[in-house]
Chains A and B, each alone.
Chain A
Amino acid sequence: MTNKSRTFIRMSGLGGQGVVTAAHILGVAAVKDGLKCVVNPFFGAEKRLAPAESYVRIAADEIWERGEVLFPNIIMIFHPHVITLGKCYTMPFFAGLQRGGKIIINSDRPLDLREEELAQLKELGAEVYYVPATQTAVEAGGTALSSNIAMLGALLAVEALVSPEAIRDAIAERFGGGKFVASGTTAALDDVLKSKFDRLAQLIEKNMAVVAAAQGRVSKHHY
């Protein structure tokens, strides 16, 4: 159930963009910061560019419910096609957004949203933010594969849910040890990502640079 002390996040993106990984890293970071957290993904056939969503519930107290977040406070859109091509499990993309909720969209320019959508968002008191996450990932991290990390940076700028230190530790844990077992496709993407960096320390530092850069590149939409 939604209440003021809980943050419910819906992340919508395309297969291969790291929507599941971003939720994983955020969840691990939340637990490291002493918060309660439940994270789960939803996808169909595991293939690139297919709609993929993940859900993160963070609170100071126990959370029992699971599954799709139907009434999010924060919606993170990892690719404009989620909105423009409807690659999303919910239509419109902000369905269920709580009053005064926040939306973070990965796009280097404001999207041409329809008048009625803008009117509905305004009526909801929604705060809409844009961040050029993919561009930031390429510039600060040297690879578009870090777009999901840039989205987490943007999230920290909009709402300081977890500490950057916890994000750093969570990235180290996700890509560092042999503990994480991924599906074949995810493992292949992991290998590509790791091949972009000489060693783990560099992967972590570059991704933290992406987090910092993205934090500074968030712009608020004015109705």
Chain B
Amino acid sequence: MTTQQVVAPEHLFFEAERERQFMTGSEAVREAIKRANVDMAISYPITPQSESMHLVGDIYAQGYLKEYFRGESEFAVMAAVAGAAMGGVRVFTATAGPGTLRAFEMFPTWAGARLPVVCAFMTRGVNSPLTIQPDTIEMAFLLDTGILMFHAENAQDLYDMILKAFVIAEQTDVHIPVGVFVDGFFVTHTREEVATAPADLKLPPYNPYSAPVPVMDMESVPVRQMRDPFVMKSNFISYAAHASWQQEILAAQERARKHVRRYLGGLLEAEHPEAAVLVVAAGTAVSQGREAVAAARREGLEVGLIKLKSLRPFPREEIRTLARQARALIVPEFNRVGWLAREIKSVVEDTTKVIDAPRVFGGMTMPPDLILAQIRRCCA
């Protein structure tokens, strides 16, 4: 291991000279964690995530992390990660699809305990018969767990978002977990060019005193909630304590907006937002959308592209404003239920503008031609 120098997050993200390398999404995770000054990582294998945490294990062996081990199951891993974070260290893990569901109880628990855990979700279908292929259905389930949710389009985003997730999660006025989502195989196993900062730079260490709740203090919330019979009772005080605590988690999500704007450059990115027809997407659907939008614009069609980077907090006002001047919002998705279209419909004034198509699922690739067909139909 090279000796690393602690630098300001802003330097690592925006100023340090970057080198381009041809690598997979899994390798981009390794490069991010190398520079993230992570104390501890805990893994449990599941395709298409296994390679990422394997690579994190390799850099543990090289001395980049203080502790790394394999848990007994995804639930055990997410619970152990919670313990580590409560103990005041910076912690990282990753999972996918069925692993996400197996561990599910822990995600709202992390948020409720105000733990700044960063977890990568390499999305995979959840289904019987079993599938290992990409599908973003698990994101629909996680929308209301209280965690922040960023969606990486490609390996470059994955590298950047993981590093930035730690800094956003650990802000005192936020201090809740961040899930960095990425489409399995389409990004994890895909090799493309990624620009990274020098490996001898790393983030400042986590300061456990940045937590808005005392570290492992049995006399204070949230731990006190778990042991204190007063609050465990079903009575008015108990309801009020829980209600105010849950609102506080939502408030922390709201307060995260300014940090997301600062570090991710916005909750969304817009190309030609003035166009009458907009393709609105997240993850791999953005990449397929870029192809379709470029082809449509070559045909002279007035179409723009909106890339959603943050789903929690959701770019509510941004989308509402964009939708006002647009005639149609085309929402391509890699899942059966169309959860992103539902989210968008929940914030626009005229829901008839939202076209919840095209949609593929079960591991299929979305041909950009399908999005182009929708664009042509909307522009006709």
Mask: chain B, 56-93; 1 = CB below 8 Å from A; 0 = not? 00100000000000000000000000000000000000
Cβ of A9 to closest chain B Cβ, rounded Å: 14
Asked if A64 and B22 sit within 8 Å, CB to CB, the answer is: no
Judge whether B292 is part of the interface by a CB distance below 8 angstroms. Answer: yes
Report 17 cross-chain contacts, Cβ distance below 8 Å, ordered by A residue: A1-B291, A27-B22, A37-B192, A38-B190, A41-B185, A42-B133, A42-B185, A45-B132, A65-B288, A66-B187, A66-B190, A66-B287, A66-B288, A67-B366, A68-B365, A71-B367, A181-B55
B51 contacts A27, CB within 8 Å? no
Decide: A65 and B191 in contact? CB cutoff 8 A.
no
CB of A70 within 8 A of CB of B186, answer no
Interface centre among A28, A39, A65, A68 (most CB of B within 10 A): A65
| B190 in contact with A40 (CB, 8 Å) | yes
Give the chain A neighbours of B292 by CB distance below 8 A: 1
| Apart from A27-B191, A39-B192, 17 more pairs, CB < 8 Å | A1-B294, A28-B22, A36-B193, A37-B191, A40-B190, A42-B185, A45-B132, A64-B287, A64-B288, A64-B291, A64-B294, A65-B287, A65-B291, A66-B190, A66-B284, A68-B365, A70-B365
- Tell me whether A65 and B368 are in contact (CB under 8 A): yes
Does A44 interact with chain B (Cβ within 8 Å)?
Answer: yes
The residues of B that contact A70 with a CB separation of less than 8 Å are: 365, 367
CB atoms of A44 and B22 under 8 A apart: no
Given known A-B contacts A1-B369, A38-B191, A183-B51, A67 and B22 have beta carbons under 8 A apart: no
Taking a contact as CB atoms under 8 Å apart, the answer to whether B295 and A67 are in contact is: no
By beta carbon, the residue of chain B nearest A36 is: B193
A79 adjacent to chain B (CB < 8 Å): no
| B175 interfacial by beta-carbon distance below 8 Å | no
Residues of B near A181 (CB, < 8 A) are 27, 51, 54-55, 58
B169 near A: Cβ within 8 Å? no
Query: Counting CB contacts under 8 A, is B341 at the interface?
Result: no
Map CB proximity to A onto B103-135 as digits: 1 under 8 Å, 0 otherwise. Answer: 000000000000000000000000000001100
In contact, A66 and B372 (Cβ under 8 angstroms): no
- Chain A residue numbers with a CB within 8 Å of B193 are 31, 36
Query: Known: A28-B22, A64-B291, A67-B365. Contact between A39 and B58, CB under 8 A?
Result: no
Residue of A nearest to B26 (CB): A181
CB contacts (< 8 Å) of B365 on chain A: these are 66-68, 70
Encode contact with B along A21-36: 1 for CB under 8 Å, 0 otherwise.
Answer: 0001001100100001
Q: How many residues of A contact B (CB 8 A)?
A: 23
Contact at B132–A67, with CB atoms within 8 Å?
Answer: no
Contact A39 B190 (CB under 8 A): yes
Whether B54 and A40, one on each chain, are in contact in the complex, defined by CB atoms closer than 8 angstroms, is no
Nearest residue (CB) in B for A30 is B22
User: Nearest chain-B residue to A68 (Cβ)?
Assistant: B365
- CA of A64 to CA of B271, assembled, Å: 15
Query: How far is it, in angstroms, between the C-alpha of A181 and the C-alpha of B133 when the chains are bound?
Result: 21
B202 contacts the other chain (CB 8 A): no
Residue tally, chain B, CB below 8 Å to A: 33
A residues near B (Cβ < 8 Å) are 1, 24, 27-28, 31, 36-42, 44-45, 64-68, 70-71, 181, 183
Asked if B186 contacts A66 (CB within 8 A), the reply is yes
Give chain B interface residues in 36-65, CB to chain A under 8 Å. Answer: 50-51, 54-55, 58
User: Digit string of B334-372 for contact with A (CB within 8 Å is 1, else 0)?
Assistant: 000000000000000000000000000000111111001
Among candidates A36, A44, A68, residue contacting B132 with C-beta atoms closer than 8 Å: A44
Nearest residue, chain A, Cβ from B290: A64
B189: Cβ under 8 A from any A Cβ: yes
Q: CB within 8 A of B22: which of A37, A42, A45?
A: A37
- Chain A residues within an 8 Å CB radius of B294: 1, 64
Chain A residues within an 8 Å CB radius of B366: 67
Establish whether residues B191 and A24, one from each chain, have CB atoms under 8 Å apart when the complex forms. yes
Query: What chain A residues lie within 8 Å of B55 (beta carbons)?
Result: 181
- Which residues of B are found within 8 Å of A24, using beta-carbon distances? 191
Alpha-carbon distance between A74 and B201 when the two chains are bound, in angstroms: 43
**A68 to B287 alpha-carbon distance, docked (Å):** 13
CB-nearest residue of chain A relative to B50? A183
Which of chain B's residues has its CB closest to A96's CB? B367
- A42 / chain B contacts, CB cutoff of 8 Å: 133, 185
Chain A: minimal CB distance from B358 (Å): 13
Bound Cα distance A40, B186 (Å): 7
Given A1-B369, A28-B22, A67-B365; A38-B192 close (CB under 8 Å): yes
Q: CB-CB < 8 A to A44: which residues of B?
A: 132
On whether the beta carbons of A40 and B191 are closer than 8 Å, the reply is yes
Residues of A within 8 A of B51 (CB): 181, 183
Bound: A200/B132 CA distance, A: 35
CA distance A218 to B226 in the complex (A): 72
Bound-state Cα–Cα, A38 to B291, Å: 14
Give the residues from 146 to 198 in chain B that come closer than 8 angstroms, CB to CB, to chain A: 154, 185-187, 189-193
